[in-house]
Structure 1
């Protein structure tokens, strides 16, 4: 069976609403985030997953559970969000006061992960994913999901700044015409049912 990778970003958190950079801090979903996760589960109901991998952070695990995928989920440390280091909990406005030209995908975070670090992590995960068959569900985060998407199609990390992932969104990576030499993005940042 051909490999198809479903990337689900976790539901809303207090920090996603406020615009704070949320990397390794382990915060839960809001009530709205829980509703988003249950709605995501309804959108996934017609899809059978051969593998379910989830970030160790609770916002991703809650989303996975509420989307009715938690019973088969395996924790995958490489799905954790970008380590924001000194910028954890800060907004873009806070950071731009000190570094007006800062760009996460180009500059990384002081005392956190660099673009090279997160690229290597995404590439390591892709190396594992390509050994799998069938439908693979990944419950992860915004910035790491964006990096995973661009690395899947061979683009540099910096291209991730152009691929937005909203809360409880669904994106699908595949091979064009099932050709492993032609990785592709079938769907990105979708909030409808799969296939819409």
Structure 2
């Protein structure tokens, strides 16, 4: 791969559960008014950038963010869905830790949910599509899945996504420096 091949990541705007720290995967919450406002603000940051491929998670919070940011025709792909938390859906990390001390999504199982390897397999397909598309790919998705996606772009194991904090309604850019996959911008 060469310079010019980039993967732009956009985390969806704020929802009720993202602001309260509740793990949200399959629960299809709408954006809060401030999440919608932030998504509209993304449009100016993405305007004038040519994308070969625009993808979005199937969850309405990601699709709505894409729409408000100026990409209503983004291709929906299950590969960008958030990490499935299984029995921990809707719970905060603090709540989970009352029964599983020290639990993190990065190192411990989520009963009935996905493993890091499961999420990485989906993200690897997105990386392959982005690299094959050439130019720039834009992906609208979620906090944990985008962090795994970044780790996989960089050739790292999925659990290294824990090193990459990602706030709502932010833009991050992955690319290359010569032949090495790099982070060009993060959480801006």
Q: CA deviation at 1:145?
A: 0.2
In the alignment, what sits opposite 2:68?
66
Query: After TM superposition, what 4+ stretches of structure 1 lie above 4 angstroms from structure 2?
Result: none
C-alpha distance in structure 1 between counterparts of 2:100 and 2:126, whole Å: 31
Aligned partners of 2:33, 2:111: CA distance in 1, in Å? 32
2:49 aligned residue? 47
Shift of 1:175: 1.3
Q: What pairs with 1:100-139 in structure 2 (closer than 5 Å)? A: 100-139=101-140
Give the aligned length: 186
| CA distances 1:24-80 after superposition (whole Å, capped 9, x unpaired) | 111110000000100111111131222111111000000000001113x11111000
1:1-196 equivalent positions in 2, closer than 5 A: 2-71=4-73, 73-177=74-178, 179=179, 182-190=180-188
Pairwise CA distance, 1:122: 1.3
TM-score in terms of structure 1 length: 0.91
Query: Are the aligned partners of 1:50 and 1:135 in contact in 2 as well (CA < 8 Å)?
Result: yes
Contact 2:85 2:110 in 1 (8 A): yes
**Unaligned stretches of 5+ in structure 2?**
none
> Who is 1:194 aligned against?
none
What stretches of structure 1 of length at least 5 have no aligned partner? 191-196
Contact 2:57–2:77 under 8 Å retained in 1: yes
8 A contact 2:93–2:104 mirrored in 1: no
TM-score by length of 2: 0.95
For the aligned residues, what is the CA RMSD? 1.2
C-alpha displacement of 1:109: 1.0
Task: Indicate the larger mover: 150-159 or 162-171.
Answer: 150-159
Q: Secondary structure at the match of 2:98?
A: helix
2-side partners of 1:142 and 1:79: how far apart? 11
Partner SS for 1:98: coil
